[in-house]
Structure 1
Amino acid sequence: MSEHHLIPLTANQPRHFYRGGANIGRFRGGPPPDDHRPEDWVGSTTSRFGGGDAGLTVLPDGRPLRAAVAADPDGWLGPEHVRSWGDTPALLVKLLDAGQRLPVHVHPSREFARAHLGSAFGKTEAWLVMGVPDGGEGRVHLGFREDVGRSRLREWVRVQNGAAMLATMNPVTVRPGDSVLVPAGLPHAVGAGVFLVEVQEPTDFSVMLEWANFSPDGADSDLRLGWDTAVTCVDVRAHSAEEMAGLVRRPAELPECEPGVRRVWAEDADAFFRAELVAGGAELAASFAVLIVLRGAGELRGFGETTPLTKGQTVLVPYGAGPLEVRGDVEILRCLPPVPDGVQANGGAP
């Protein structure tokens, strides 16, 4: 395995249609180039929808991460992962800072993506809330409260009645430390001032049901499928407030699966991605991973090398780095690919 070093990463913030990025700058310790850099794509082999290189991570030696992984998939990802997923990490991690409310949108399922987008991956995603507006609470919207029906939704999209869409959705209060699972197909919107880590399937597929006042011409809002097809990926059924609240876990509800390791999302997410909150003293099995240092300072030890860690740092971990030990008063979000076929998850590590 030619790749085995831990790789600290710099910010990777492609320009976007919505405002944000200041909270990413404060967290990482460096301001963004402008106020339309609301997402930091961390350890990304996924590019923005429509092609080009935007979104792709470039390693410190100048190689695109995508090319490095393709040249040595076993070393980067591990043989069990490669047997299940090939030479893709099957994972995308972002820091996302909503400088304004995000539009109502939805992501397609794997089944829809296979049928219409030529992709094995859809875009189930999940969030770990890092910050909220002053006052201690943030707001997201999840799912419709009533059965909307496709013709009604199609008319809202045609006339761009975002207010009606939002008014029919479930408002959900979130606080720092909360984790939220967002299944593919579920319409959602993130409120202004919410800063989060987003862990998702490795695509940039978003059906933008609302684009007025966000993207002037609504380009690619229907993923170039036509709206009659695009709206069929949307879950238009009624979802109760209690059902949507069930997608949220509070910090005290996160189970410890191993010493110093707490599982962020329920096992329902394992087929799509996994994440752990890791503290000093934890021992981590070999795996491709994206690390985000949430607080404190410490170090990672493994393979005869020590990597210092400080708040705001992001680190790329190849499988070939082997087992690691976490030292110090530090908390890390360890983002992991889905469980390989035939492998039993054990504390989130294959």
Structure 2
Amino acid sequence: MNPALYPLQFDPILKERIWGGEKLKTVLNKDITSKITGESWELSTVQGDISIIANGEHKGTSLQDLINNFPDEVLGTKVHERFGKQFPLLFKFIDAREDLSIQVHPNDELAKERHNSFGKTEMWYIMQADEGSRIIVGFKEKSNQQEYLENLKNKNLLSILEQVPAKEGDVFFLETGTVHAIGAGIVLAEIQQTSDITYRIYDFDRVDASGNTRELHVDQALDAINYNVVETQKKYQTQKNVFNEIVDCPYFTTNVLPLQGTIEIDKTFESFTVYMCVDGYFEIEYYDEKYTYEKGATVLIPAGMNMFKISGNASILEIYIS
């Protein structure tokens, strides 16, 4: 068996945020000690935040080093050909105790030109939502730069933005240019391009423990914003023991698997696969080894690991590049 080929887990990279809380511990069993932990970066090759393998023969090795040594086996032949030795996606769990800032992400072209980075197309899967929680996403009606700036100046931006109630199982797909914010009381799984470029445009005038406001990027955001009305919420099937498609875009495909019992997996060598356990528990059986996971686990299946069994009682997000 190729030494790179087994289900890989990683040490979470925990991020304190002014809007964070403690649900990553209470809901997802993450080992946090802070009362303002907002993000758990589950799988990342963002510079300065590169994931470290937490299990098996390669424990202690960085994901980037493993890719450098086994690019086809880890990434997949098609992904390696398209992206070189870059891991093109970033996976997170997010706990919003308070509203996040209202923000926007640039597209590939703008991000490349300004930051030498990918853009940031992303999706959210709501794992837990307090009563009354909502997502801020896009404009209520077609807008323009002048109207947007007037409402921003008057601290009335929310009046022209769409606010959508959120509940467990809801999915939102956000193309670049979509003005958005995760609302208070929500825990979600986020799948996105490998990028940490965010233009923050309004932060509710809040200050940190030292009395400082956070930096805004109003001017940079102007060229990045899509002022049209966008449809972001995704409807999908939940047939048991089937990978039900939620999102299929140029950057990633995401399916949901409502698992009850055992299924056999036989996939191609073209792309890696990532499983995020959003509820319940499951087990992967590969050769004579068994690997167990529970809610809050993220697992990277290297592309070369193409035949195995999954069993359990869980809701699992499956992500790959098609």
Structural RMSD (CA):
2.4
Q: SS at 2:178's partner residue?
A: coil
Q: SS at 1:167's partner residue?
A: helix
CA 275–283 in structure 1, closer or farther in 2 if over 3 Å, else same: farther
1:149, CA displacement in angstroms? 2.6
What are the superposed Cα offsets for residues 252-272 of structure 1, whole Å, 9 maximum, x if unpaired? Answer: x3265x95211122x3x2x01
1:12, CA displacement in angstroms? 2.0
1:320, CA displacement in angstroms? 2.5
Given the alignment of the two structures, is residue 140 of structure 1 paired with residue 135 of structure 2, yes or no? yes
Rounded Cα–Cα distance in structure 2 between residues aligned with 1:150 and 1:218: 23
Rounded Cα–Cα distance in structure 2 between residues aligned with 1:138 and 1:229: 29
**Bigger proportion of residues as strand:** 2
Alignment TM-score, normalising by the size of structure 2: 0.86
Rounded Cα–Cα distance in structure 2 between residues aligned with 1:327 and 1:38: 31
Rounded Cα–Cα distance in structure 1 between residues aligned with 2:92 and 2:207: 20
- Identify the residue that residue 16 of structure 2 maps to in structure 1: 15
1:299, CA displacement in angstroms? 1.2
Given the alignment of the two structures, is residue 38 of structure 1 paired with residue 30 of structure 2, yes or no? no
- Identify the residue that residue 169 of structure 1 maps to in structure 2: 161
What are the superposed Cα offsets for residues 268-323 of structure 1, whole Å, 9 maximum, x if unpaired? Answer: x2x01122222243333254233222233331122442212223322222222222
Given the alignment of the two structures, is residue 312 of structure 1 paired with residue 293 of structure 2, yes or no? no
Aligned 8 A contact 1:18 1:214 in 2: no
Rounded Cα–Cα distance in structure 2 between residues aligned with 1:213 and 1:298: 41
Equivalent residue for 2:197, pick from 205, 208, 217:
205
What are the superposed Cα offsets for residues 15-71 of structure 1, whole Å, 9 maximum, x if unpaired? Answer: 334322x22112332452212221111121124xxxxx2x32112322221222122
Q: Percent identity?
A: 23
Q: SS at 1:76's partner residue?
A: helix
Aligned 8 A contact 2:201 2:221 in 1: no
Rounded Cα–Cα distance in structure 1 between residues aligned with 2:15 and 2:166: 26
Rounded Cα–Cα distance in structure 2 between residues aligned with 1:95 and 1:169: 25
- Identify the residue that residue 125 of structure 1 maps to in structure 2: 122
Rounded Cα–Cα distance in structure 1 between residues aligned with 2:192 and 2:296: 20
Rounded Cα–Cα distance in structure 2 between residues aligned with 1:116 and 1:33: 36
Letter in 1 for 2:182: V
- Identify the residue that residue 149 of structure 1 maps to in structure 2: 144
Q: SS at 1:9's partner residue?
A: coil
Equivalent residue for 1:192, pick from 155, 159, 184:
184
Rounded Cα–Cα distance in structure 1 between residues aligned with 2:298 and 2:142: 41
- Identify the residue that residue 97 of structure 1 maps to in structure 2: 95
CA 118–311 in structure 1, closer or farther in 2 if over 3 Å, else same: closer
- Identify the residue that residue 342 of structure 1 maps to in structure 2: none
Rounded Cα–Cα distance in structure 2 between residues aligned with 1:45 and 1:198: 15
Q: SS at 1:319's partner residue?
A: coil
Rounded Cα–Cα distance in structure 1 between residues aligned with 2:36 and 2:245: 32
CA 314–274 in structure 1, closer or farther in 2 if over 3 Å, else same: same
Residue pairs, 1:310-349, within 5 angstroms:
310-336=294-320, 338-339=321-322
- Identify the residue that residue 301 of structure 1 maps to in structure 2: 285
Given the alignment of the two structures, is residue 24 of structure 1 paired with residue 24 of structure 2, yes or no? yes
Alignment TM-score, normalising by the size of structure 1: 0.80
Aligned 8 A contact 2:199 2:220 in 1: no
Given the alignment of the two structures, is residue 274 of structure 1 paired with residue 256 of structure 2, yes or no? no
- Identify the residue that residue 264 of structure 2 maps to in structure 1: 283
Given the alignment of the two structures, is residue 292 of structure 1 paired with residue 276 of structure 2, yes or no? yes
Rounded Cα–Cα distance in structure 1 between residues aligned with 2:29 and 2:61: 25
CA 324–214 in structure 1, closer or farther in 2 if over 3 Å, else same: farther
Aligned 8 A contact 1:131 1:194 in 2: yes
Greater shift, 96-105 or 70-79, is seen at 70-79
- Identify the residue that residue 263 of structure 1 maps to in structure 2: 245
**Bigger proportion of residues as helix:** 1
What are the superposed Cα offsets for residues 193-214 of structure 1, whole Å, 9 maximum, x if unpaired? Answer: 0111111111011100013315
Rounded Cα–Cα distance in structure 2 between residues aligned with 1:296 and 1:326: 13
- Identify the residue that residue 51 of structure 2 maps to in structure 1: 57
Aligned 8 A contact 2:42 2:91 in 1: yes
Q: SS at 1:320's partner residue?
A: coil
Letter in 2 for 1:42: E
What runs of 5+ residues in structure 1 fail to find an aligned partner?
A: 48-52, 340-350
Rounded Cα–Cα distance in structure 2 between residues aligned with 1:25 and 1:11: 12
CA 312–217 in structure 1, closer or farther in 2 if over 3 Å, else same: closer
- Identify the residue that residue 234 of structure 2 maps to in structure 1: 249
